[in-house]
Amino acid sequence: MRVLVTEDDDNLRLALEAALRGAGFAVDTAPDLPVADEALFVNSYDCAVFDRMLPAGDALRYVHGRRAAGWQLPVLFLTARDSEADRVDGLRLGGDDYLVKPFAMPELVARVRSLCRRATVGRPAVLRCADVELDGGRHRVTRAGVLLTLTRKEFLVLERLMTVPGQPVSRHELISYAWDEMADPASNVLDVLIAQLRRKLRDPPLIHTLRGSGYLITL
């Protein structure tokens, strides 16, 4: 699961990033709204965390504008504004959750995880390709009924490929989905992972390389 954290306080931003990474999330960060807006345009996320008051303005107004255009990404607001009216506005104008500072990091992680689960609503609970079955809810993958042991990143790459069987998925998209903006797309981390995934899936091969296009899964 991939999260965008927008917070202008450097120390808090680093602490949020560390807590979420430690809980297994891929995390991108932004110090202000223009950087966040660019990240949201380029990448896909399961949840966004916004400090309300940022150098470029109130993030609530930004989210409200995006909501009016049909944006559905789950959003958690962080703020020192703790009045009932502020909380109501935060939820009424586009927030899905509202956490008042100071807060405990475990609570933030739990709330982000809950919002990420909402983002998966509407996706098929179980993906199938040939004799491979991927159960996203239970985090299980089987082939011909045999349970496979995959790492988190192997699971994510396979999940992305199985979402669009028979269609190529670029290296950049796979890296963005399973890692985060800190991953170097020119490195061989994806190639190594694909080789491991092919070995675990066994024959006949399902994951194929399309030179210049990426990878696809098909029998």
| Domains in the chain, CATH or no CATH each | 2-119 (3.40.50.2300), 126-217 (1.10.10.10)
pLDDT < 70: residue spans in the chain: 118-125, 137, 180-187
pLDDT at 70: 76
pLDDT at 18: 95
The DSSP secondary-structure symbol of 76 reads E
pLDDT at 201: 95
CA dist 162 to 32, 65, 82, 130, 131, Å? 35, 33, 43, 10, 12
**pLDDT digits over 93-140, tens only?**
788 888 888 999 999 999 998 888 766 555 566 889 999 999 876 778
pLDDT at 123: 56
Query: What is the spatial distance between Cα 131 and Cα 204, in angstroms, rounded to a whole number?
Result: 10
